[in-house]
Amino acid sequence: MQHAIPVASLGPQAQPMADAIGSCVHCGFCLPTCPTYVTMGEEMDSPRGRIFLMKEVLEGELELEVALPFIDNCLGCQACQTACPSGVNYGELITPFRAYAEEHRHRDPMDRAQRELVLRTLPHPRRFRLAARLGRLGRPFAGLLPASMGSMLRLLPDRVPPAQPLPPVFPAQGERRARVALLAGCAQQVLAPDINWATLRVLARNGVETVIPAQQGCCGALAMHTGAAERAKPQARRNLAAFPADVDAVITNAAGCGSGMREYGLLFKGEPEEQAAQRLSDRTMDVSAFLDALGLRELPSVAPDPIPVAYHDACHLAHAQGVRSAPRKLLEASGAVRLVEPAEWELCCGSAGTYNIEKPAIAHQLGERKARNLLATGAQLIATGNIGCMTQVQQHLAALGHDIPVLHTLQVLDRAYAGTLHTKEHTA
């Protein structure tokens, strides 16, 4: 599509945005996989529509405030990028555009307060743990608060597992085949510390030594994906310093964090850190992709009666990082499961970072739709690769009256090794 975006005057992020817009041919192939188009049925709430609106805004043809409601509706799931035959890098458009919008938009005070609260709480394990406890007390009042604040409270877990501090190094068992550094994650550490432990155990069993750099902090994805680029940068800088260069890979086990770190290069585009940031991005890998590429050294024993398991593709893994087959292969290799494929795999579950806080109604529709699709497979266990999805899916399964466990791929593998994989157990 032709455009007249004044690239030179819009800063270093303008070129990737213009490139994404330029390579869109307006064919609409992305529409059926876009969660907002599918639920709202309006062109403005489709990837094609949003790309067009962003083009018009950047060209100065349309006022930012007019376009923003539709940009804000975007979950950033990047399903459109997977579907696009024309190679539009939507992620490199929406993230900088949101940063651009944040600089130029007007937000009302309530909105700002909530945003501030989320951005200051979720990325900090200690604060989040505290909020989770306090939040439980506040839940009876949820109905009195604005809808999105209420939904934020409802998202908080009933009980928070005890903190389980991670060691600085988790050694490989037997001969060492690789050495990696692990991003420990924020909310995940609080909600499901077992995911990190499962990751460490499975890696170790397969000859991988894991270091957990103490200085690391939040990956910054949450801020980055909501337009708070300036808030993300210090977080990213901290990680640039914290993660060693002498490891085979930097491993993430939360899809959102992984895709965030893989965008560091874009975040620092045109700045002194750009090269270092890009190098870290290039070394960052989801644990499932890493393990699949390395190959499992030891296979769990094959169970006589495999459990039907539906793998739910987390958007930030499947769409943003293009990882779909690796987790499936690992699950199959676990010997304990029979994979069943849900319909509409490409459709977001509505969790999408802070989306279910900001747009609770759409998030709810998507969550329920996802839960129904998963249930239709007859699965007795759901596996996925992202903590946000786990919480969302679990909640919506429960709302439909189904108490099916939802585990991280690595938790399934870990339990398969331990011979403790049962359908009736729960997360955490």
Partner 1 sequence: MHDMEERVIGALAQLELGDRLLTSPAAMASFGSDALTAFHQRPLAVVLAESVDDVVRAVRICHRERVPFVARGSGTSLSGGSLPVEGGIVIALNRLNRVLSVDPDARTATVQPGVINLDVSRAAASHGLAYAPDPSSQSICSIGGNVAFNSGGAHCLKHGMTSNHVIGMTVVLPDGELVTLGSDSTEPAGPDWVGMFCGSEGLFGIAVEVTLRLVPVPEAVRTSLAVYDSLQAAGDAVAQIVSAGLLPVAMEIMDALAIEAAEASVKPNYPSGAALLIVELEGEREVVDGDAARLDELLRASGASETTATEDPDARGLIWKGRKSAFSAVGWLAPDYIVQDGVVPRTRLGEALAEIDRMSAEAGIRVANVFHAGDGNLHPLILFDGREPGAVERAEHLAGEILRLCVSLGGSITGEHGIGVEKRAYLSLMFSPDDLALMGDVRRSIDPLELANRGKMLVPETVS
In the complex, the smallest distance separating the C-beta of residue 383 from partner 1, rounded to whole angstroms, is: 22
Tokens read off for 361? 């109604």
Cα gap 347→370, rounded to integer Å: 8
In the complex, the smallest distance separating the C-beta of residue 205 from partner 1, rounded to whole angstroms, is: 32
Asked if 319 and 82 touch (Cβ cutoff 8 Å), the reply is yes
Contact residues for ligand SF4, defined by CB under 6 A: 24-30, 34-36, 47-48, 50-51, 74-80, 83-84, 86, 88, 90
The CB density around residue 59, as the number of other CB atoms within 10 Å, is: 13
For residue 407, give the nearest of 318, 327, 298 by alpha carbon.
327
Using DSSP, state whether 383 is helix, strand or coil.
strand
Q: Which lies closer to ligand SF4 via its Cβ, residue 16 or residue 76? A: 76
Strands (E), 148-206: 169-170, 178-182
In the complex, the smallest distance separating the C-beta of residue 88 from partner 1, rounded to whole angstroms, is: 8
Asked if 420 and 300 touch (Cβ cutoff 8 Å), the reply is no
Selection from ligand SF4, partner 1, none that 237 binds (CB < 5 to 8 A by kind) is none
In the complex, the smallest distance separating the C-beta of residue 222 from ligand SF4, rounded to whole angstroms, is: 16
Selection from ligand SF4, partner 1, none that 333 binds (CB < 5 to 8 A by kind) is none
Selection from ligand SF4, partner 1, none that 61 binds (CB < 5 to 8 A by kind) is partner 1
Q: Which lies closer to partner 1 via its Cβ, residue 26 or residue 107? A: 26
Q: Roughly how many angstroms between the first and final C-alpha of the chain, as a whole number? A: 48
User: What is the secondary structure of 408-428 as a DSSP string?
Assistant: EHHHHHHHHHHT---TT----
Tokens read off for 13? 């992020």
DSSP 166: P
Using DSSP, state whether 425 is helix, strand or coil.
coil
Asked if 315 and 348 touch (Cβ cutoff 8 Å), the reply is yes
In the complex, the smallest distance separating the C-beta of residue 27 from partner 1, rounded to whole angstroms, is: 4
In the complex, the smallest distance separating the C-beta of residue 59 from partner 1, rounded to whole angstroms, is: 11
Q: Which lies closer to ligand SF4 via its Cβ, residue 75 or residue 412? A: 75
Selection from partner 1, ligand SF4, none that 295 binds (CB < 5 to 8 A by kind) is none
Asked if 198 and 206 touch (Cβ cutoff 8 Å), the reply is no
Q: Which lies closer to ligand SF4 via its Cβ, residue 19 or residue 248? A: 19
Cα gap 82→88, rounded to integer Å: 9
Give the CA radius of gyration of the chain.
21
Selection from partner 1, ligand SF4, none that 157 binds (CB < 5 to 8 A by kind) is none
Q: Which lies closer to partner 1 via its Cβ, residue 66 or residue 241? A: 66
Q: Which lies closer to partner 1 via its Cβ, residue 31 or residue 294? A: 31
Tokens read off for 120? 């200051």
Asked if 43 and 28 touch (Cβ cutoff 8 Å), the reply is no
The CB density around residue 308, as the number of other CB atoms within 10 Å, is: 14
In the complex, the smallest distance separating the C-beta of residue 188 from partner 1, rounded to whole angstroms, is: 33
- E strand or H helix at 398: helix 387-399
Selection from partner 1, ligand SF4, none that 77 binds (CB < 5 to 8 A by kind) is ligand SF4
Q: Which lies closer to ligand SF4 via its Cβ, residue 73 or residue 334? A: 73
In the complex, the smallest distance separating the C-beta of residue 312 from partner 1, rounded to whole angstroms, is: 21
Selection from partner 1, ligand SF4, none that 76 binds (CB < 5 to 8 A by kind) is ligand SF4
For residue 91, give the nearest of 367, 408, 353 by alpha carbon.
353
Q: Which lies closer to partner 1 via its Cβ, residue 67 or residue 187? A: 67
Q: Which lies closer to partner 1 via its Cβ, residue 43 or residue 273? A: 43
Selection from ligand SF4, partner 1, none that 272 binds (CB < 5 to 8 A by kind) is none
In the complex, the smallest distance separating the C-beta of residue 349 from ligand SF4, rounded to whole angstroms, is: 12
User: What is the secondary structure of 198-232 as a DSSP string?
Assistant: HHHHHHHHTTEEEE--TT----SHHHHHTT-HHHH
Q: Which lies closer to partner 1 via its Cβ, residue 49 or residue 260? A: 49
Using DSSP, state whether 384 is helix, strand or coil.
strand
In the complex, the smallest distance separating the C-beta of residue 2 from ligand SF4, rounded to whole angstroms, is: 13
Selection from ligand SF4, partner 1, none that 2 binds (CB < 5 to 8 A by kind) is partner 1
- E strand or H helix at 284: strand 284-286
Contact residues for partner 1, defined by CB under 8 A: 1-2, 22-29, 31-32, 41-44, 46, 48-49, 52-53, 56, 61-63, 66-67, 69-70, 84-88
Selection from ligand SF4, partner 1, none that 53 binds (CB < 5 to 8 A by kind) is partner 1
